[in-house]
Amino acid sequence: MGERVTCRTVGGHRVEATNGASSTFIDLPKVDGGEGNGLGPHETLLAALGACTSMTLQVYAARKQWPLEGVELTLTREKAAVGVPDAKDRIGVEIRVHGPLDAAQRAKLLEIAQKCPVYKTLTSDLDVVETLA
């Protein structure tokens, strides 16, 4: 079995997400009727991709004993154009790696970013199955 997260409403549109050991709160932004007390759902998705990418790069660099001192990512989501056939949402990921890395190491890290498990999930042929409990 894979990961398991339980989400429950805790007032208004605010949701607590927990894996049993750790919790975080997700809320709608004020513009969408929430209180804005937490990342929004799509921001949480971007955060998951960014965190996974950062961790993947750090693990890879450590295995190679490369002098990676830190990773910073800025992620954006653009909605698909309305009325455009085959238009898709787009996620942009700007990766900044810190440390005295050479050009070849930087290029390899950009390649390795696409090996992140969340990236692989988002770009796979994914099925989401919902049932009432």
**Cβ within 8 Å of residue 76, ≥6 positions away:** 46, 91, 92
Q: Domain range spanning residue 10?
A: 1-38
Mean pLDDT value of segment 30-48: 94
- Which CATH number does the domain housing residue 84 bear? 3.30.300.20
Residue 28, in any domain of the structure:
yes
Residue 50, in any domain of the structure:
yes
Residue range 46-96, pLDDT digits in tens: 999 999 999 999 999 999 999 999 999 999 999 999 999 999 999 999 999
Residues 52, 64 within the same domain: yes
Residue 96, in any domain of the structure:
yes
The yes-or-no verdict on residue 2 having pLDDT over 90 is no
Residues 55, 84 within the same domain: yes
Residues 45, 67 within the same domain: yes
Note whether 27 and 34 are within 8 A (CB).
Answer: yes
User: How high is the mean pLDDT of the chain?
Assistant: 96
Number of domains in the chain: 2
Would you state the pLDDT for residue 111?
A: 97
The residue type of 63 is R
Closest by CA position to 99, among listed 76, 63, 67: 67
The yes-or-no verdict on residue 14 having pLDDT over 80 is yes
